[in-house]
Structure 1
Amino acid sequence: MNPSNVDVAIIGAGTAGLSAYREVRRYTDSIALIESGPFGTTCARVGCMPSKLLIAPAEARHRLERLPAFGIAAEVGRVDGVALMRRVRSERDRFVGFVIESMQGFDPSHIIRAHARFEDAHSLRLDRATDADVTEAAADGIQRLRADRIVLATGSRPFIPAMLHAAGDRLIVNDDVFEWQDLPRSVAVFGAGVIGLELGQALHRLGVRVRLFGRGGGLASISDPEVRAYAARTITAELPASLDAREVRVHRDGDAVVIDFVDDDGNARSERYDWLLAATGRTSNLDRLGLEKTGLVLDARGIPLFGPLTMQCGASHIFVAGDSAADRPVLHEAADEGHLAGHNAARYPGVFKHVRRTPMGVVFSDPQIAFVGKRHAQLVAEGVDFAIGQVSFEDQGRSRVMMVNQGLMRLYGEAGTGLLLGAEMIGPEHEHLAHLLAWVIQMRMTVTDILELPFYHPVIEEGLRTGLRELNRALGMGPKPPLRCIDCGPGG
């Protein structure tokens, strides 16, 4: 039987909520973990893992197209959409199973399957969950719960602009893609952010007719204008896209979705698609909790003002974590925030600050896009005095050998101190370079110090060294780099 009073209530059992639960349990056994939907986390069910299961076969098929340039005869692989999507769903379910399996050590009496809403700052009303795979009654009949401290970890959901609703039952979000039994013939992807770019490019490479629709010319949240321009040229050379589509109108014609629009060149177009995929961002689920009854100060999005080093909302007993906070919506950050929120909720009023890890983001497009540390727009907005080191990967030795020589990296260093501050980049295997950069930035290393570290030859990382040398020169802390890195071998 679940109690009606607990020390800590955690609303949401996604990545952040599960991390918070494990931390809180170190301090108290009086816990309520409240979840209204399916277990398994956004990442495992509809996010990072199933999307990579779609991207992997797309990249494999795309590699076949490059083989003739190596002198190897090959035919582009025929796509069995049924078999492909069967593997996506099967492996997705396996990843979800791992998450659920990790919860087997949880005390069942701590878990409440219900929708929670605030009645006041400490009291929650619990309503029976109505999700299709949730059949248990709320809290064994308990309809109200009082908690001394509360962690908000309710996650987020897709945001769909009103103009797209005209697509009717042909309108889908990324969650729906991973339930497909077969690949469709055509999809219009609205939203040129991370989700839209990853899924749009993957579907295109698997033989689906795709157009990526964006607004204002943005792509994958790149803020550096040089990197954004390079990425736009590179991506749109392969993937049909209108990154600044105007006068867009959506309507139905039978089973087809018709998109009327003015493309980036000013031409009026009308195209038909089987589906319209809305990848137009996500919105926090906190708006479903009745936060107006807590007395917390909310921002324009309805998210409580909180300290990112404590996850505490104001000076209250309420903490927020994960996608709910809409601060750093990636899995490793959600886990960190959940741990921090859980730690402080359990020890409240003893609340402690914790230095956060260096921000890092990777877009699994091809070429990959990555951001590390402080981004270009942030440095400009903060008035930081910084220099830029730039390197192209078009002539980088190992990249050319592998025929993946597309990319531009821009590195930012602080004037005066020489500290490496951040980077924005597009290029081959940049998920790995992003990690290297995040590590040295977090260690507060100067560009000069980083250049003392070993670089092998021939590797893609030599391109990073070239960029660092250019940055050191721009900072006035090093000479002009040798032509084509003669001291490290040809093509370095």
Structure 2
Amino acid sequence: MSTPLHCDVAVIGAGTAGLAAERAARRNGASTLLIDPHFNGTTCANVGCMPSKLLIAAAKQAERIRRSDLFGIRVDGLQVDGAAVMQRVRDERDRFAALTRQQIKALDPATRVTGRARFAGPTTLELDDGPRIEARAIVIATGSSPALPPPFKALGDRVLTNESLFELKQLPTRVAVVGTGSLGLEFAQALARLGVQVTLLGKETTLAKIRCPRVHRALLAMLKRDMKVHLGVDVHPERNADGVRVRWSSKQGADGSAQVDYVVAALGRPPNLEGLGLGLGKAKLKLDKHGVPCHDRQTMRCGDSAIFLAGDAAADLPLLHEASSDGAIAGRNATALPAEITVKRHVPLSITFTDPPVASIGQSEDEAAVTGTADFDDQGRARVEGVNEGTLTLYAAAPEGTLIGADLVVPAGEHLAHLLAWAVETGCTASRLLELPFYHPTMEEGLKQALRSICAATPIALPADHDAGAPSGG
């Protein structure tokens, strides 16, 4: 048997969370080992954020051209070259992925261990082909993979996930997108605007987990312009000679079917934890009903063990910025063990890059004492740009009208979402935001209506100059 390797902190997985954990541990004085079977870069660069946004960017460009008549600009004979679209997606994706691999390659080779790890004990790892690793603490950052239930897996190469969609050499003619989370909505709208006939199907009755019914209605209406949408349905796909026959049914009797070339399965991404030996026999961790180790999100520590989780493996918030934060917290706490460093997590922020974007920030209407809503149908800058649609709802706490969250589907939504997240995290009130400068004409002025509604419903008076300058509509 080969001599075991020893380190202070071993990190399983070299994705966004794992790289952040290794870096945090090393910068805090720990000796580290980073273990991965491939060292092929991050999910974001390879099959996630970046290739999906490249597809969305192509769809947005096509939509701009279709809408150009509004501005008196005639563009005849729009053609979408599906092969060229997909080639650019792959070319740019490969460029992003190569950059992440270069960052990994720059790490000390002595700290990189190629192989699949599993627990042989609470602080001992064994590899499928290599020495044992003895560590003072271990961070699990193994990421996630697309969920593919048996009926979908049986479709073979006629089912696509975010890990295979971008390999298409040509855009298909007809697809069914199953799943109404962020990934499903982004794929469905992008493909539809690139000329693909799309049927969007979801078991849930709510799109992208939007909490405000008014915002949800606005998004649903927008999506229905580009595709057929069926919510609250069970989906039954079956492969045939022409592709896939997809049938759906609901308790309300809303049954139907469609013949498609492919099914795009956007059914979530469960964590990659199988084979690690996490149960009581090896790592001796308590697992929840989904098989995920129970952990403290403030420290990312699993119970009183020397094991920490980070990123998608933790199954908390599967978002890149959260994965990076998880990794930094886990790496630092793994180094500090047995001391614990508790951090205040950032306000929850999720963005779906539809057009217009969807975002959810902080707490919801259930926790709010008062809400304020703004419609963008007649918002000045939005109307100038020809994108005047959508709704925004702010949630605030009494009695000061302190902002606690928001839901929105509005133009420039990704930027407004950041502003609102910062406002929530810093404890801003609606009144205080109205005292700040609003340049005219901008999308940011669209916030005023909702902020004024909150002020009017709380004991805090409106700022004296809240009506100064041009109104948000013009």
Alignment correspondent of 2:136: 148
Give the whole-Å Cα distance in 1 for the aligned partners of 2:346 and 2:249.
43
Give the whole-Å Cα distance in 2 for the aligned partners of 1:325 and 1:288.
16
Q: Which stretch shows the higher mean deviation, 63-72 or 421-430? A: 63-72
What is the CA distance between 1:27 and its match in structure 2? 3.6
Q: How does 1:167-206 map to 2 (within 5 A)?
A: 167-206=155-194
**Please, which of 296, 302, 306 is the counterpart of residue 313 of structure 1?**
302
Checking the alignment, whether the CA contact within 8 Å between 1:166 and 1:250 is kept in structure 2 is no
Give the whole-Å Cα distance in 1 for the aligned partners of 2:389 and 2:110.
54
**Please, which of 244, 262, 269 is the counterpart of residue 275 of structure 1?**
262
The one-character-per-residue Cα deviations of 1:374-413 (angstroms, maximum 9, x if unpaired) are: 133xxx2xxx351100110111111111111111111000
Checking the alignment, whether the CA contact within 8 Å between 2:197 and 2:227 is kept in structure 1 is no
What is the CA distance between 1:28 and its match in structure 2? 4.0
Checking the alignment, whether the CA contact within 8 Å between 1:404 and 1:428 is kept in structure 2 is yes
Give the whole-Å Cα distance in 2 for the aligned partners of 1:190 and 1:38.
31
Checking the alignment, whether the CA contact within 8 Å between 1:65 and 1:75 is kept in structure 2 is no
Give the whole-Å Cα distance in 1 for the aligned partners of 2:212 and 2:3.
52
Letter in 1 for 2:10: A
Give the whole-Å Cα distance in 2 for the aligned partners of 1:174 and 1:385.
36
Give the whole-Å Cα distance in 1 for the aligned partners of 2:203 and 2:257.
17
What is the CA distance between 1:476 and its match in structure 2? 3.6
Residues 37 and 474 from structure 1, CA distance in 2 versus in 1: closer, same or farther, beyond 3 angstroms?
Answer: farther
Checking the alignment, whether the CA contact within 8 Å between 1:213 and 1:245 is kept in structure 2 is yes
Alignment correspondent of 1:412: 395
Q: Does 1:459 align with 2:459?
A: no
Give the whole-Å Cα distance in 1 for the aligned partners of 2:245 and 2:68.
37
Normalization by structure 2: what TM-score? 0.94
Alignment correspondent of 1:396: 379
Alignment correspondent of 1:131: none
What is the CA distance between 1:342 and its match in structure 2? 0.5
Alignment correspondent of 1:222: 210
What is the CA distance between 1:263 and its match in structure 2? 7.7
Residues 39 and 166 from structure 1, CA distance in 2 versus in 1: closer, same or farther, beyond 3 angstroms?
Answer: closer
Alignment correspondent of 1:210: 198
Normalization by structure 1: what TM-score? 0.91
**Please, which of 285, 294, 306 is the counterpart of residue 272 of structure 2?**
285
Give the whole-Å Cα distance in 1 for the aligned partners of 2:301 and 2:221.
43
What is the CA distance between 1:255 and its match in structure 2? 4.0
Checking the alignment, whether the CA contact within 8 Å between 1:469 and 1:478 is kept in structure 2 is no
Alignment correspondent of 1:102: 103
Checking the alignment, whether the CA contact within 8 Å between 1:2 and 1:109 is kept in structure 2 is no
Q: Which stretch shows the higher mean deviation, 204-213 or 157-166? A: 157-166
SS in structure 2 opposite 1:491?
A: coil
**Please, which of 397, 403, 422 is the counterpart of residue 405 of structure 2?**
422
Letter in 2 for 1:274: D
The one-character-per-residue Cα deviations of 1:252-282 (angstroms, maximum 9, x if unpaired) are: 2214100123489955433111111110111
What is the CA distance between 1:5 and its match in structure 2? 2.0
Give the whole-Å Cα distance in 1 for the aligned partners of 2:242 and 2:119.
43
Between Structure 1 and Structure 2, how many residues are aligned? 471
Alignment correspondent of 2:9: 8
Checking the alignment, whether the CA contact within 8 Å between 1:21 and 1:342 is kept in structure 2 is yes
Alignment correspondent of 1:19: 20
Q: Which stretch shows the higher mean deviation, 316-325 or 25-34? A: 25-34
Alignment correspondent of 1:298: 287
Checking the alignment, whether the CA contact within 8 Å between 1:409 and 1:424 is kept in structure 2 is yes
Letter in 2 for 1:393: F
Give the whole-Å Cα distance in 1 for the aligned partners of 2:441 and 2:22.
46
Letter in 2 for 1:84: V
Give the whole-Å Cα distance in 2 for the aligned partners of 1:371 and 1:289.
34
SS in structure 2 opposite 1:283?
A: coil
The one-character-per-residue Cα deviations of 1:52-85 (angstroms, maximum 9, x if unpaired) are: 0000010000111111122211125311122111
- Structure 1: stretches of 5+ with no match in the other structure: 128-137
Alignment correspondent of 1:130: none
What is the CA distance between 1:239 and its match in structure 2? 2.1
Give the whole-Å Cα distance in 1 for the aligned partners of 2:27 and 2:357.
39
Give the whole-Å Cα distance in 2 for the aligned partners of 1:359 and 1:432.
15
What is the CA distance between 1:106 and its match in structure 2? 0.9
Give the whole-Å Cα distance in 2 for the aligned partners of 1:482 and 1:467.
17
Give the whole-Å Cα distance in 1 for the aligned partners of 2:464 and 2:359.
25
Residues 258 and 105 from structure 1, CA distance in 2 versus in 1: closer, same or farther, beyond 3 angstroms?
Answer: same
User: Identity of paired residues, percent?
Assistant: 44
Letter in 2 for 1:56: A
Residues 38 and 236 from structure 1, CA distance in 2 versus in 1: closer, same or farther, beyond 3 angstroms?
Answer: farther
Checking the alignment, whether the CA contact within 8 Å between 2:448 and 2:472 is kept in structure 1 is no
- Structure 2: stretches of 5+ with no match in the other structure: none
Q: Does 1:231 align with 2:219?
A: yes
Checking the alignment, whether the CA contact within 8 Å between 1:55 and 1:202 is kept in structure 2 is yes
What is the CA distance between 1:486 and its match in structure 2? 8.1
Checking the alignment, whether the CA contact within 8 Å between 1:469 and 1:481 is kept in structure 2 is no
Q: Does 1:471 align with 2:454?
A: yes
Letter in 1 for 2:52: S
Checking the alignment, whether the CA contact within 8 Å between 2:39 and 2:104 is kept in structure 1 is no
Residues 198 and 66 from structure 1, CA distance in 2 versus in 1: closer, same or farther, beyond 3 angstroms?
Answer: same
Letter in 2 for 1:463: G
Q: Does 1:112 align with 2:100?
A: no
Residues 277 and 264 from structure 1, CA distance in 2 versus in 1: closer, same or farther, beyond 3 angstroms?
Answer: farther
